[in-house]
Each structure stands twice: as structure tokens, then as C-alpha cells.
Amino acid sequence: MAEGLVHVKRALVSVFDKQGIDVLGPALARHGVTVLSTGGTAAALRKAGVPVVDVQDVTKWPEMLGGRVKTLHPAIHGGLLANRKEEQHLKELADLNIEPIDMVISNLYPFEKTVASGKGFEDCIEMIDIGGPTMVRAAAKNCDSVAVVTSPDQYEAVLAEMDKTGGALSVATRRKLAAKAFTRTCEYDAAVAAYMTKETTPDQAVSSRLYVQGGALRYGANPHQSPASYASVLGHALPFRVVNGQPGYINLMDALNAWQLVRELNSALDLPAAASFKHVSPAGAAVATPLSAQLAKAYEVDPSTLSDQALAYVRARGADPLSSYGDFVAISGVVDESTARLLQFEVSDGIIASGFEPAALEILKAKKKGRYLILEGNLKYAAPADEVKEVFGVALTQIRNTATITPDLVNSKVVTKQSIHQEALRDLVVATIAVKYTQSNSVCYAAEGQVIGVGAGQQSRVDCVKLAGRKVDTWRARTHPKVLNLKFKAGVKKQARINARVAYISNDMTPQEKTHWEELFEEVPEPLTMEESREWAASFKNVSLSSDAFFPFRDNIDQAAKHGVAFVTQPGGSVQDDTVIEACDEYGMAMSFTGTRLFHH
């Protein structure tokens, strides 16, 4: 016998779910396995033509208490727990006339389904399996001698290995099966504990959430926080597949939030969507809308070469390219070569998308010396209804934020004299879905189907409005003729050009900084004056603004007015709502209340 292989000579089969038993039983019989069984399982096996030894003939005791006691007997558990490497164990079995059992096939009473069906306490209690978990745990503990099969979906692989080995299973297989068995009994016990606690102490709750290891992370939030890993909730697949590279902690935080954002944008507006994430907030997000000649020049792209998906990415990255340096990218659709060519030369940590064309994948795999993180998002993934976050040893549980942002929601309650037109609805949807995935407090300005300024994580809402407003002003100024016509020296890299333009627009350089800045140009440019910036900004109107919570004072509207805001959406619900509405009417802004707060932490 090959090392680690154990031939299955005796198997105990006792299952509630009899799916596949008509295939399993005959297959075991073909390998000469003696099958022990109980009750309904024995009847099903005999119907399939399989010779069966009744468990009560082994234990010399009949089934008792309406089937509650069947397998709880030393003749069964001695055969399961005997260590085949221990001579004393084998001697005791021989002295007591107990034969070893090499395999247990048992799936448990459907307790969770019974609870979910709404049946009463007595019915649920009757579906708490005792003998099954006991056998499963005994077999799993002794996995170097015994195989344990706990689900019909394992039958095919187990039988295939037995066919290949002449009726044996490897130690690796038995240990993997044991791990799954202990996971199942742990899940089962947790479900029972949660139900009993709810029934007896309604004001308390027990979490039955378990996790399945997904893979190792490079490290946690910081390099010294290692080892680190990620896992999926038991019963749910991961929402992504690693195609290339190894993720880090912040990579996945960005990827998972960004993936949700672009999926929601695509669903709400039926347009290709993209996002540029940095430190768990979007630096930019957008849907595919045409670029003006000025904006195309500012973004340094030729629109004629861009697919719709590439166009969405250009807008997302172009919102705040200073912040997007080293970002994580999310694409709602399949990444084509046009999009990959744009990404090829950007400084970025990774990407998540629904798929990748072969040529695009080869381009992306070459980034970062082959270490560029590429994740394929699962479009069919359904997340658990609740989510858990652990902080300092305390687990916080809440229902996942499933609020659906649509044009109808944004336009459902307009509270000002002015109404919201169609393009503004699109931009308000973009801004609102963006703030849903931005660290709170947060506001987002949008125009032309893209984010143009994000204010994230500020304790004061008006500071969010001011911070994002400064980004809006910078975004606008990037299309000023003076900025577009800056004459850089040959060889100045793109990110250096981006940084230099922002420094030029901000006009707040130290003397030393300005000396190094001037070295980037063939001709040192004349300053962009504050008056020129203001005059240029005044020509931009119809900006949309969304807030993740209500505006507590009118100062938010006063500040927003400085940046061309004409349309506002917010949850409403402040004692100052009337004052805020009056401020919007004074500025000729349209504002709607969604009634939906979107804090994100």
C-alpha cells in the first residue's frame, strides 16, 4: 500500500439528505466495502441493491426513543476512534470483538432549514442532531485512520480517488475532509446556540458567522502588522478571484469598496463606470460621457482612441490625479486593450474588473515587474445580509447598506423652487453613489458624469464642502489656457507634469520649491492670478453636490455656491432644513431630500 493510503473496508452511512445515495452505495459495494447503516438510509441503500448491515446488529441494541439513539454505542465509536498505529487500541478492539470503521458518511438533520421555515420550538428542537455530529467529530478526530464525508457534493471526488487507488483514500484527502467536517459541526452548533439564545433571551444574540480562509495578504495595514490574511464567510464564495499578484490589506479594502461603487453606478445609469480609490475613499469616479477638447487636453488623452470603458477610467483618474497616484482601479465591465494601454503607464497598485481581454491582461501583468495586483470581480456574487467589523476585540454587527441610489430616489422630493434636469440627475447619482463609499463625513461634487471633488472623513461637514470645493476649483483651472499651454521640458514625466500644474494653480510654493519647479519648463510661465482663476471658474455652472448626511447649517450652501453648485441632494432631517432650503432658493439652486443617510466607516 502506498504511504498514507488507507483502504476503506467498512463504512457507516447514515444521512438525512439522501441525494446521490443511489450512486454512492453501489460504488462502495463495487470496491468490496461493507456498509453499515440505519433506518431510512439502510432502506434507500437496499433499494439501490446494496447489501447493508444494520447498525443495531453491530451494537446488539435496537434503535431507541423514536430514533434518538442509534449509533451512540462503544461498538460504533470504538471502531471510529481506535488509532490504527496504537497496538493497545487494536488489541482492545480485538478483545471486545469490535471491528474498525474506515469511513463515515453522514449529513446532519436540517436544523437551520427547520428554523428558517418558521416552525415552533418543539419541531426545531427535534431537528437537533446528536448522533450525527458525534460520529462526524469522532471520525474527523481520527482522520489519519478514518475518512469522513459530510455532504453529497463530496461524493464524486471521493469515489474518483477510490477508483484510482483501488478503494483507498490518501491522508491528505482524509485530513481535508476532516477540516470540512469540523467546520460543518462548528457551524451547526453555532446555529443551535444562536436559536436557543434568541428563544430564551431575546435581547441577546449569538453570531453564527464562520469564515473560510481565502489566502495570505502581503501584510496588514502596515508592514509590521504581519501575518495577515483574508477569508470568505462560510457559505459564500469570495467576490473576487486573484488573477495576478498578492493583495495587501488596504488593497482589498479599496478593491471591495470600489467594486461595489462601479457596479452600482453601472446599474443605476446603464453606462460603463470606473473608480479610482485611495485609502478607502474614491479619489474619482465616473461614467462614460464624451470629453470636451479642453478636458481631453488637460487629461492628456486622444478621445478618438478611447473605448467607452476607457473613457470612464480617464474621467475617474482625471478627477484628482494628484490623489490618484498609487490608486486602486475598479472597472465595471471587461478591461479592453484601450483601457489597459492607459493604465500601462500610470502609477497604480491594482485593478478589479469583471473581466480582461487577453491582450489587456498581458499588458497589465507586465506592470510593477509582474507584481501588479489583478482581481476579477464576481458579477454573480451575493453578499451576506449583515456585515461584521471587529475593533479592539469588539465585534460590531449591522445590516449591510443596501440602499439603492437611482435617479428616482434623487428626484423623489425636490424641496426648492428650482427643479432638477436630466443631466443633473445623472451627476447627482454619480455623486451620491460616490459618497456612499467615501469615509464619513463626506460630500462629493460632480459634473459631466464624473466626480470633480471629494471631501472625505472630516469631523465638520462644512470643512468637507470646503475641502472638496478646493479640488473642484483645481479641476476647473486645469483647463485654463495658461495651464494647458505650459511648456514643459522634454522628458518630464506625466506625474511630475500633474504635480507641477497643481502647484501652478495653487500658487502657494515656497521660494525653494519654486526654484525646483521652474527647472521643469522651457519657459518659466507667468503666474496664474487669483483674478484669472476666479474669472475662469465663473464660467462653469451646473455643478452637482451630494452629502452623505443632512446639512446642519446654511454655511454649507454658501460655500457650495462659490464653486458653481446648482443642484444639491442630501438626506434632509435637520432642524435647520428650512434655513438650508431658503439658502438654496437665494442662490437659485435646486435641492432634493432623499431621506437616506449614507454614512460609511
- pLDDT tens for each residue of 6-30: 888 999 998 888 889 889 999 999 9
Q: What local confidence, expressed as pLDDT, does residue 515 receive? A: 95
Output 506 or 207, whichever has higher pLDDT: 506
List Cα–Cα distances, 177 to 26, 103, 149, 183, in angstroms: 21, 11, 6, 10
Q: What local confidence, expressed as pLDDT, does residue 206 receive? A: 56
Angle between helices 249-269 and 422-436 (to 10 degrees): 160
Average pLDDT over residues 94-113: 86
Preceding omega of 441 cis (within 30 degrees of 0): yes
Q: What local confidence, expressed as pLDDT, does residue 545 receive? A: 98
pTM of the model: 0.78
**DSSP bridge pairs for 284:** 276
Q: What local confidence, expressed as pLDDT, does residue 208 receive? A: 62
d(CA 33, CA 168): 11
Whether 74 shows a pLDDT value over 50: the answer reads yes
* Kind plus residue range of the DSSP H or E element containing 89: helix 87-95
Q: Sign of the C-alpha dihedral, residues 549, 555, 558, 560?
A: negative
Count of other CB atoms within 10 angstroms of residue 236: 13
Average pLDDT over residues 193-201: 80
Average pLDDT over residues 163-182: 91
* Kind plus residue range of the DSSP H or E element containing 78: helix 74-81
- pLDDT tens for each residue of 547-571: 999 999 999 999 999 999 999 999 9
Preceding omega of 358 cis (within 30 degrees of 0): no
Average per-residue pLDDT for the chain: 91
Q: What local confidence, expressed as pLDDT, does residue 64 receive? A: 67
**DSSP 3-state assignment of 27?**
helix
Domains (range + CATH), the chain: 5-199 (3.40.50.1380), 239-377 (3.40.140.20), 404-480+533-600 (3.40.140.20), 485-527 (1.10.287.440)
Best CA proximity match to 141, nearest among 110, 109, 102, 182: 182
List Cα–Cα distances, 310 to 273, 275, 286, 297, 303, in angstroms: 9, 11, 11, 16, 9
Q: What percent of the chain has pLDDT over 70?
A: 98
Per-residue confidence band for 192, with pLDDT thresholds at 50, 70 and 90: confident
Q: What local confidence, expressed as pLDDT, does residue 243 receive? A: 97
List Cα–Cα distances, 235 to 208, 240, 266, 268, 383, in angstroms: 12, 15, 27, 28, 10
* Helix ranges, 239-395 (H): 249-269, 293-299, 308-318, 337-344, 358-365
**DSSP 3-state assignment of 345?**
coil
Average pLDDT over residues 162-168: 90
Whether 253 shows a pLDDT value over 80: the answer reads yes
List of E strands, 497-571: 543-547, 565-570
Flag the least confident range among 104-108, 368-372, 452-456. 104-108
Whether 65 shows a pLDDT value over 80: the answer reads no
User: Are 348 and 364 in contact, with CB atoms under 8 Å apart?
Assistant: no
* Kind plus residue range of the DSSP H or E element containing 495: helix 494-506
Per-residue confidence band for 351, with pLDDT thresholds at 50, 70 and 90: very high
Q: How many CA atoms lie within 13 A of 375 on its CB side?
A: 26
Flag the least confident range among 374-383, 392-401, 430-439. 392-401
Q: What local confidence, expressed as pLDDT, does residue 132 receive? A: 84
Active site residues: 141, 279
User: Are 58 and 36 in contact, with CB atoms under 8 Å apart?
Assistant: yes
Per-residue confidence band for 66, with pLDDT thresholds at 50, 70 and 90: low
Per-residue confidence band for 175, with pLDDT thresholds at 50, 70 and 90: very high
* Kind plus residue range of the DSSP H or E element containing 328: strand 327-335
- Checking DSSP bridges between strand 565-570 and strand 590-593, what pairing results, if any? parallel
- Apex CA 420: angle with CA 419 and CA 425, to 5°? 165
Q: What local confidence, expressed as pLDDT, does residue 1 receive? A: 40
Average pLDDT over residues 270-299: 96
Q: What local confidence, expressed as pLDDT, does residue 218 receive? A: 94
Average pLDDT over residues 2-6: 68
Whether 67 shows a pLDDT value over 80: the answer reads no
d(CA 354, CA 378): 7
Whether 2 shows a pLDDT value over 60: the answer reads no
Instruction: Return the exposure string of 526-552: e unless at least 16 CB atoms fall within 10 Å of the residue's CB, then b.
Output: eebeeeebeebbeebeebbbbbbbbbb
What's the CA dihedral at 495, 456, 453, 339 to 10 degrees? 50
Whether 42 shows a pLDDT value over 80: the answer reads yes
User: Are 565 and 465 in contact, with CB atoms under 8 Å apart?
Assistant: no
| Residues 6+ positions from 363 with CB-CB distance below 8 Å | 337, 340, 341, 343, 344
Q: What local confidence, expressed as pLDDT, does residue 555 receive? A: 97
Best CA proximity match to 580, nearest among 537, 549, 539: 549
Per-residue confidence band for 343, with pLDDT thresholds at 50, 70 and 90: very high
Phi, psi of 42 (to 5 degrees): -60, -40
